[in-house]
Amino acid sequence: MVVRIPAVLAAAELTTLRDQLGVASWTSGSATAGFQSVAVKDNQQLPHGDPLARECGALIVAALERNPLFLSAALPRHVFPPMFNRYENGMAFGAHVDNAVRQVPATSFRLRTDLSATLFLSAPADYDGGELVIQDTYGEHRVKLPAGDLVLYPAGSVHRVEAVTRGARVASIFWVQSMVRDPIARELLFELDDSIRELSAAGTARAPLVRLTGLYHNLVRRWGDL
């Protein structure tokens, strides 16, 4: 399931992030590439532990925690501290699959990557190329979103970032370990939650809505892990 989550960041937050990242010290992205991806990864990123990256990351995590669509789609148990990357002058990231396990730098904490996320920070008009291309059973999804929008996709899917041929593409990327490990169960819950929300907005009678909501929570109890 590939899910777009619009306007994760408010305009003021986006401006703050852009201002801060505009003065950041970018380094080669190959430093954190795994065995498989080092040959195809050509971008820049902020080093782990960079205070600016940590500050910007905290702002993003706070925005995610109050976003109902993100919470419903991801059912997050752990969110990896957001990283920041930048592509310009033909930089690209060839086809790869993200590592199944990620250790949070400077800690002993490891997280299973169920979902990958890209939060677009540059406006699409500011660069050419740079599409995130995600392969799934339905074919290829070419994703290039307005600044402040997020895409969530299965971390196990083959994906790539096309070469940026004009301007610069700045984004934040991170991974989520979900309470619900099974992607099909997670998708069913997302669908159910969305239907309940829609029925509720349409003014459906309260009693069946309470039962449906109970069904949702009981399925989370059955399928979820904390």
Spatial CB neighbours of 102, under 8 Å, sequence gap ≥ 6: 80, 110, 111, 113, 175
> Which residue number places its CB atom closest to Ni ion?
98
Minimum CB separation of residue 7 from Ni ion in Å reads 24
CB under 5 A: which stretch of 66-74, 75-83, 98-106, 122-130 binds Ni ion? 98-106
Interaction between residue 98 and Ni ion (CB under 5 A): yes
The CA distance from 155 to 157, in Å, is 6
Minimum CB separation of residue 159 from Ni ion in Å reads 6
Which one, 98 or 149, has the nearer CB to Ni ion?
A: 98
Interaction between residue 114 and Ni ion (CB under 5 A): no
Strand partners, 176: 79, 115
Which one, 26 or 189, has the nearer CB to Ni ion?
A: 26
Minimum CB separation of residue 151 from Ni ion in Å reads 12
Spatial CB neighbours of 93, under 8 Å, sequence gap ≥ 6: 29, 37, 40, 41, 42, 43, 87, 160, 161
The CA distance from 211 to 67, in Å, is 24
User: Which residues form the interface with Ni ion (CB under 5 A)?
Assistant: 98
